[in-house]
Structure 1
């Protein structure tokens, strides 16, 4: 197949960027109107007899790895997941066909977004699935997915709203775009994000990326409650990202976004540890110190030998018992054996 001249591709890309900047506001407004047609329903997906939510991360990992190996555009991945979710919202999918539906959705999205030379062939799809499905099965599933969705493929995705935000932002580095896409792809793994429109997720990811990288001193005040909820979800899930997602965004081609995020989280954890008050000693350590002796005037018994008050630093001998105490002690002994009470008397005991 004859390749295009690289110079023509560069001129075409520059012309496309100029057109996008000129009509960006109209494009965003049109995409917001199309958002209402996205019929992804997580409640209906809950009713799947065999597909469970714990299976979703494995399929998303597979699609991310496949998408990266074929060097496809970011929009292709988000469109593939959108097709997958819309199909699973209205059709029953068996567990043995779950990977087939996901791979077919990626194939349809590549046909819609990529140029002809980038579209994967059927033999490549069979190789990605390790020969689990034949080529005819991909063709049959493609027809079934398109008929189920009524051939409505080009609905807006998260990337459709994130790209204009990155293009319109001033003084924004490429790392912000990579971190924002990292957060957007993180949202593909979790059910809670399916209830929000793509524009909300894109705006929340962009604001959080700017804030994490220090481009904003605080989060924008104009965020809606739904966007703030998405940011809270990002804060929770960003601590345990997928291994495939971390591997992908640790590469220099993606600005090492995962490494930047991990460094930021480590710094925040260290700052929180320094700001915390010192930990008090455990109770077992405080019990090792003996309590001070009670004063003689309190009348309570003490295990310590009473000491006479003195002005010197030396301890004085114990108190000599009083005569009344001695008499009581001798009376008790005499009741037992008088010889022990008065040893100086010679008494005959019969």
Structure 2
């Protein structure tokens, strides 16, 4: 009887199915070299693209500036039309802007999105009569349109998120209807050269300084809260804010013969008058390190200016003849109008705070003076009012009592 001998394995006996190879190091080295070559090629392509883009922008820079200046003249709001609004008043505006600033920061949107949203809000209020109960709804629709227009798709807020930030004061359909109505009212002309767009052009003409950029944005956002800057063109406001920022930070000013240095001295003085007491929400936003803590820098600058003015006031008085042509003390420079601060909603909700869309007459007015409506019947079509239970007229006392409930955490 013969036994068949089992064939020997070709590569010898092996206790494991995994065989070590001496060529793995060579393959890994070759793969690493290929990846390094791809990275170098991508970097070279990026540098070449930036160089070509820079050459193209310089070639068409004059045409771009002409178009931006034309567009800013075509998309400016009308302050006189906002003045004749029958329900919303200028003292309500800071409360709505505080809400928009918080929502803008919560969704981490681009700086130009906030400026565009405020422009859409003002332009809509220039053409339509807005009820107090719809003021916050118009602001949310403007922010939604601005985010869809120029921001990243993954950061655009949803209707559900905006509804949650408004404490479910409006239905989903109301946001959609108001968004469509704003676009139709503005003839679908959304593009507007913002302050940030002109500021980037002015900054690129000089050596980049992030602290100057952040402070210029902070000053420009402070200007959003005041009526006198609503009719100021963004190009003028951007260059004036940049000049004031360089002055505060003791940076060298740009030559006035260049476009970036052609600021308006009157606008610079007006901006400096509103640095004294900005919005608390805005000051807290720009106190972060990634925004160079510019709000803290301005506070320290104002304190030093106050000390200088105090020492100047303690000096011996000059002869009466010398006082005739002497300018006002430095302490009066920052004595201009101040931004109204929130009194009822001092604490901020985790995901935003409720801005009262319906403000009782005189509740937030200075010295509690009730404003008497002397304006005639509205000459513009009113904001659409959906058939919603919240819009049904109720007794005034019960209505305001139900409205000003404390916002819940969402």
- Taking structure 2 as the reference length, the TM-score comes to 0.62
Give yes or no for contact 1:40–1:86 (8 Å, CA) kept in 2.
Answer: yes
Match of 1:311 in 2: none
| Alpha-carbon separation, structure 1, partners of 2:106 and 2:225 | 19
| Alpha-carbon separation, structure 1, partners of 2:314 and 2:171 | 63
1:17-55 deviations in Å (ceiling 9; x for gaps): 973674162433320121220241111100000000000
Match of 1:23 in 2: 57
2:148 is the counterpart of 1:76: no
CA RMSD after TM alignment: 2.5
Match of 2:291 in 1: 254
| Alpha-carbon separation, structure 1, partners of 2:191 and 2:46 | 21
Q: Which entry has the higher C-alpha Rg, 1 or 2?
A: 1
| Alpha-carbon separation, structure 1, partners of 2:76 and 2:84 | 16
Higher relative contact order (CA 8 A, sep 6+): 2
In terms of mean alpha carbon deviation, does 97-106 or 18-27 score higher?
Answer: 18-27
Match of 1:143 in 2: 180
Give yes or no for contact 1:40–1:89 (8 Å, CA) kept in 2.
Answer: yes
Distance 1:236 1:91, change over 3 A: same
Give yes or no for contact 1:80–1:109 (8 Å, CA) kept in 2.
Answer: yes
The correspondence of residues 95-174 of structure 1 with structure 2, limited to 5 A, is: 95-170=132-207, 172-174=208-210
Higher helix share: 1
Distance 1:131 1:28, change over 3 A: same
Match of 2:234 in 1: 198
Match of 2:250 in 1: 214
Give yes or no for contact 1:61–1:244 (8 Å, CA) kept in 2.
Answer: yes
User: Tell me, what secondary structure is at the counterpart of 1:195?
Assistant: coil
- For residue 91 of structure 1, report the CA deviation from its aligned partner: 0.4
| Alpha-carbon separation, structure 1, partners of 2:153 and 2:296 | 34
| Alpha-carbon separation, structure 1, partners of 2:193 and 2:254 | 29
Q: How many residues align?
A: 270
Distance 1:45 1:246, change over 3 A: same
User: Tell me, what secondary structure is at the counterpart of 2:85?
Assistant: coil
Distance 1:95 1:130, change over 3 A: same
| Alpha-carbon separation, structure 1, partners of 2:291 and 2:184 | 36
| Alpha-carbon separation, structure 2, partners of 1:17 and 1:182 | 31
Gaps of 5+ in 2: 1-38, 318-410
| Alpha-carbon separation, structure 1, partners of 2:57 and 2:222 | 29
User: Tell me, what secondary structure is at the counterpart of 1:23?
Assistant: helix
The correspondence of residues 329-344 of structure 1 with structure 2, limited to 5 A, is: none
User: Tell me, what secondary structure is at the counterpart of 1:44?
Assistant: helix
2:305 is the counterpart of 1:271: no
In terms of mean alpha carbon deviation, does 122-131 or 27-36 score higher?
Answer: 27-36
- Taking structure 1 as the reference length, the TM-score comes to 0.72
